[in-house]
Structure 1
């Protein structure tokens, strides 16, 4: 079992990254929140990992810290939640937001995540909620950061990209589709965003906007 990798980040193409460890490039699939936490290409990066062995492939998943990996492992234990959906959940909202949805029994917000229907959302709430008592770190993270979304939408958390940013839009759209959103959904999520933003900023803004719009509709 590969538990952790520490090496040079040589490729970052959401939702994939490649880390060079001693001349061997390890390809990992990671959540957007993990990818956004990574340094620039060419710098040292450290990721916790989870390896899934199938008959046709060895799949390696990367996580920014042990807590995110634990959440991933708990999620894939739930019936109907595979690795791809678990990663989409960890990408679709910050884990503090996810925990608040569980604590508030907000199934409607969870259904805004790709591939999560009403029954799956209800199952997540029932099965994950009782496990939160073992993770006091998560309940602390669940306290709302009211300024975070405002800073994001104001552009303070977004790194501007040099000219030629059309490629960033295409990459962001491809990443959202890889996370499980339908092509028409991905296009709609990116339509009103500033296309001069970096790929990572476009994806993060699109995800934040989608979750925010779901909460607005729920209050109406």
Structure 2
């Protein structure tokens, strides 16, 4: 298993980057997020990697940080989710946003090219427990307020109301999760709307 590659960044294209290590150029398939964070060509770069071996291909996937790599591994562990779909999801959102979507059951936000509603639902069902218990969630636990993860009563009603108003489940959960749980539903909704209006 190749844990990481470190060397000169010699080429980038949409979907992959090439890092030269000891005279060998390693083509690492990756996300738009990782590509946007890489240095300029000719400079040193490090990518954390995952080697995917199939009957017809051997692919190396590279990520800027271990949080994104952990999310990628979790995604491809879900039945029906291949590396391409995993890259598509992580190209459209950060690992923190991904964890929040799974933890709050926000299926709508997980849909992207190559990932339809059925696959998005399966991801939430299979990964909900993992996201809250595995190391991938530890680095951004602050992003997942307790009220957002276990919303019930007034908090759940307020979240539902914000979703009806057009916000995603995860956005609504974060906004409501920041207010006083003793507030009545109407006040929670007002507070949530203010937070969402100022981008949390």
Give the TM-score taking structure 1 as reference length: 0.62
Shift of 1:53: 1.6
**For 1:86-105, what aligned pairs fall within 5 Å after superposition?**
86-105=86-105
Q: Over the residues paired in the alignment, what is the CA RMSD in angstroms?
A: 2.2
Greater Rg, structure 1 or structure 2?
2
SS in 1 for 2:10: strand
Counterpart of 2:141 in structure 1 is 139
2:96 and 2:140 in contact (8 A); partners too: yes
**How far does the alpha carbon of each residue in 1:50-100 deviate from its partner, in whole angstroms, 9 at most, with x for none?**
111223321000011222212111111101101111111111111222222
Residues 97 and 142, structure 1, Cα contact 8 Å, conserved in 2: no
How far off is 1:117 after superposition?
1.4
- 1:99 and 1:139 in contact (8 A); partners too: no
Q: Does 1:118 align with 2:129?
A: no
Aligned partner of 2:191 in structure 1 is none
Distance 1:18 1:85 in 2: 21
Which protein, 1 or 2, shows the higher relative CO under an 8 Å CA cutoff with sep ≥ 6? 1
The alpha carbon displacement at 1:13 in A equals 0.8
- Answer with 79-88 or 66-75: which moved more: 66-75
- Consecutive unaligned residues of structure 1, counting only runs of 5 or more, are 144-214
The change in CA–CA distance for 1:47 and 1:118 in structure 2 (over 3 A counts) is: same
Q: Give, in whole Å, the separation in 1 of the partners of 2:46 and 2:60.
A: 14
**What CA distance in whole angstroms lies between the structure 1 residues aligned with 2:43 and 2:21?**
12
Judge conservation of contact 2:5–2:49 (CA < 8 Å) in 1.
Answer: yes
Shift of 1:216: 10
8 A contact 1:49–1:69 mirrored in 2: yes
Query: What residue in structure 2 maps to residue 81 of structure 1?
Result: 81
- SS state of the match for residue 80, structure 1? coil
Partner Cα distance (1:124, 1:217) in 2: 25
1:56 matched residue in structure 2: 56
Gaps (5+ residues) in structure 2? 146-162, 169-200
1:35-59 deviation line (CA, Å, top 9, x unaligned): 1111111000001111112233210
Runs ≥4 in structure 1, deviation > 6 angstroms?
none
Cα distance change, pair 36–125 in 1 and its aligned pair in 2 (3 A):
same
